[in-house]
Amino acid sequence: MRFNLIISIVALLCFSNTIQSQEKKSLNIHRTENSPKIDGVLDDDVWKNAEIASDFTQFKPEMGVVSKDHQKTIVKMAYDDKAIYVSAYLKDKPEDIQKQLTSRDNFGQSDFFGIILNPNNDAQNDTEFFVFSSGTQADATATPSNGEDFGWSAVWDSAVKIVDDGWIVEMEIPYRALRFSNDNIQTWGIQFHRRFRLDNSQYSWNPIDRTKGNSSLYHGELTGIKNIEPPTRLSLYPFVTGISNTYDGETDTDLKIGLDVKYGVTENFTLDATLIPDFSQAAFDDLSLNLGPFEQTFGEQRQFFKEGVDLFSKGDLFFSRRVGGGPSGSINLEDNEEIINYPEEIKVLNAVKFSGRTKKGLGIGFFNAITEKTDVTIKSTEDVLNPDTQVIETIVTSRKETIEPLSNYNILVVDQQFNGNSSVSVINTNVTRNGQFRDANVSGLLADISNKKNTYNILGEVKMSNVNKPEKDNLETGLSTFFMVRKIHGKFRYSFDHSLANTRYDINDLGLIYRNNYSNFGVDASYQIFEPTKKLNNFSINTWVNYRRLYKPDTFTGTNFGFNMNAQTKKLMWFGASINVEPGKQYDYFEPRDFENKRYFIYKNIGNIEGWFETNENKTLSLEFFAYAFHAFDSERDLAGYGFGIEPSVRFNDKFRLNYDFTLRNNNGSRGYVNKIDNQIIFGERNIFSAENSISGNYTFNPMHSLALTFRNFWTTVNYDNKLFVLNDNGTLSTEDGYTVADVDNPNVNFNTWNLDLSYTWQIAPGSFVTGLYRNQLFNRDNNAEDDYFESINTLFKEPIQHTFSLRLQYFLDYNNLKSVFSKNKSTS
């Protein structure tokens, strides 16, 4: 019955009447024999007779507003055998132009001009290039399903010049930065964007209707491109990194030399490889205390794994931190044994990505990475009687065991796009470990289908996992499904969804899932405005209801409902609020840490409320603030908490901006797992207090030189009541057994971490950088939960501090430029 319903809905969506397509603007481009000088001065011959793109209209915050006379935009384009050239005359009052200097890909408080190119003209695969009035660049790839990926970076040239009546942009976009076919005559999708940061309005060349569909559907067309050939897209990024690391009086130095490669295998497919990886300058993870039943995870910090991964992100089966993360193996230790050199991460030997999409919308992606075999040293101590001296002597021995074998990680994705707004995908991930370690294979079938009117959408996923566990000598197969129907147009929107995972669904070898064994239902509804009111630029409100069950046994676990709203005023101040309620009894099957016996813990009637606001970031001083509170309406316990955060930012000038962020959280009366005593699950009631201080600042001398500071101190204390609880079979807690904290290892915690990054970046040539980095780090964890902040800081600074200094040079080499140099040398010899 359910399957027939799904088929009927899909048919309805796919065969709806075709939308009356709006008339697209067209810009005809001409070939030039003399490329322009990219200097922001429009005196080159190529611009004299080039066709003009103008008449921009606003799409944010209001749609259809024509540009003011003093803010007109005039764009011209040309091309030759090497690149696309763009000039834009952006009229404005010089005093209104916002031009804060930022690092690359950081939009900050700056006006921008952007060009979006879609060589396949398929409305789904865009390449975006932005130039800010400060001269800084940003670039990204974009798809409807994955949004914008600013981790992607290309090497291209631009220049900016401020003039009496506005500012001028010139751009050179080499063909190596684009993927296109070798057709003799080509028509590309194209769009131009312009943002005025003063009032946060945004304009486009071809009008955009924000009430439905993705913005790529509203591209214009670029015609006139003839007889261009995709170049040999081979880019080399050799690098050398020198590292000095000092910890607890010992200093280690290292010199790393490596190479990253980008190679265009065909006109539409690219191979990215890091042959000798170096991730020594990846940013710090924001460590915090984890008291929950699930693993603590962090976002990706390594550039290779952040860039160009849109295809591999299909179905949420790829969590890149698995590659080179912590060891997958475990070692059983005797009471007299300890591991000496347990690794926090595994070395990545190499990694490659192959991806692209044909002109007919067929996308193919292949990812492979290999991590090295890693051993640990196990030291054992034993007291024995020396028969000769009759003295007890301590014998120390050691052995090595493999904690992580040589491992291979693979992903294969095939994705077919159609109708300019839909796709069907097949994805497979595989992890193979050498020897008697677990292997895993996960496959998924995904569908994202919208009707041609862009009014309704269906999302569907079926995923299957297969995990081979040598210790159990069997193959465990798991299943997961997701289905959503939603209205995606107009002011009022809604959706219905169901998600399911059985007890054996496990993707954590290369993906990320915190829990399985669920069968959840959700309903969402929202209302938003697209035309500003007298006082508001934007306003939206969203409400939801979720109903949760276990898959096995099929039993109720909980429900929640709530709403949130957010809005922006005419003065560019954002504000919002949210409320969430979990009414009645909620059955937590995970906090007891006894998944095999399906033990659960009951809590009930918890509600929380949150509010926030953000002032205009264009001002010299701006402020972000949030506050929340929660409470359990339960006569049997006293659970309540609150928190707030404040982040002032000072914009000293267009070069220097400094942010300070302080967050405080106080949780009184929470109950959670402590330990086991004689197979009884022990819970404790605890007060949790945390404070976080962070500072981030950037001084950008010019688009080629920047200095950055990042500092963070995170402190948490967890203080348990003396009496401990036993978890009863019915999910309640009891103190009848009389357990106290003296019966378990002291569960109180004082957790304190400190890290600082200070870096200087110099772009010595397009795509080539010198980066100097100094960092230090401190960490302490003990049981002194009664210590105040200053006592805890004093203890922290008694710990050994880790100092790291690294200097890295990365140079960009384009094969085509090298070939021309060698050709000239050969011709003159």
Question: What integer is the mean pLDDT of 394-418?
Answer: 92
Closest Cα partner for 194 from 152, 133, 144? 133
Q: What's the one-letter identity of residue 5?
A: L
The pLDDT tens digits of the residues spanning 84-142 come to: 999 999 999 999 999 999 888 888 899 999 999 999 898 888 999 999 999 999 999 99
pTM, rounded to two decimals: 0.87
Question: What integer is the mean pLDDT of 259-282?
Answer: 88
Burial class (CB in 10 A: 0-12, 13-18, 19+), 597: exposed
**Secondary structure (H, E, C), 513-576:** CCCCCEEEEEEEEEEECCCCCCCEEEEEEEEEEEEEECCCCCCEEEEEEEEEEEEEECCCCEEE
On average, the pLDDT of the chain sits at 91
Integer Cα distance of 663 and 80 in angstroms: 54
Give 331's pLDDT tier (boundaries 50, 70, 90): confident
> Domain 25-226 carries which CATH code?
2.60.40.1190
Integer Cα distance of 630 and 323 in angstroms: 38
Residue 22 has pLDDT above 70, yes or no: no
- Contacts (Cβ under 8 Å, ≥6 apart) of 468: 438, 439, 440, 474, 475, 476
Tokens 């001002």 found at? 619
Integer Cα distance of 310 and 128 in angstroms: 15
Concatenated DSSP letters of 316-351:
G---GGGTT-S-S------TTEEESS--SS--EEEE
Integer Cα distance of 749 and 771 in angstroms: 38
Tokens 């890909």 found at? 105
Integer Cα distance of 754 and 414 in angstroms: 44
- Contacts (Cβ under 8 Å, ≥6 apart) of 758: 707, 708, 709, 773, 774, 775
Integer Cα distance of 192 and 52 in angstroms: 12
Least confidently predicted of 73-77, 278-282, 357-361:
278-282
Residue 4 has pLDDT above 90, yes or no: no
Identify the pLDDT of residue 13.
Answer: 41
Identify the pLDDT of residue 268.
Answer: 84
Question: What integer is the mean pLDDT of 213-232?
Answer: 90
The pLDDT tens digits of the residues spanning 532-567 come to: 999 999 999 999 999 999 999 999 999 999 999 999
Burial class (CB in 10 A: 0-12, 13-18, 19+), 390: exposed
Residue 386 has pLDDT above 90, yes or no: no
Integer Cα distance of 370 and 348 in angstroms: 6
The tokens for 167 are: 């500012």
Tokens 């980066």 found at? 771
Integer Cα distance of 485 and 481 in angstroms: 14
Integer Cα distance of 303 and 309 in angstroms: 11
Integer Cα distance of 580 and 558 in angstroms: 13
Give 9's pLDDT tier (boundaries 50, 70, 90): very low
Identify the pLDDT of residue 439.
Answer: 94
Question: What integer is the mean pLDDT of 66-73?
Answer: 94
Domain locations along the chain: 25-226, 286-508
Identify the pLDDT of residue 174.
Answer: 94
Question: What integer is the mean pLDDT of 197-204?
Answer: 94
Higher pLDDT: 371 or 820? It is 371
The tokens for 13 are: 């969506």
Concatenated DSSP letters of 685-706:
EEEEEEEEEEEEEEEEEETTEE
Residue 8 has pLDDT above 70, yes or no: no
Residue 211 has pLDDT above 50, yes or no: yes
Least confidently predicted of 73-87, 150-164, 465-479, 494-508:
465-479
Identify the pLDDT of residue 286.
Answer: 87
Q: What are phi and psi of 275, to 5 degrees?
A: -80, -35
- Contacts (Cβ under 8 Å, ≥6 apart) of 149: 140, 141, 142, 307, 308, 309, 310
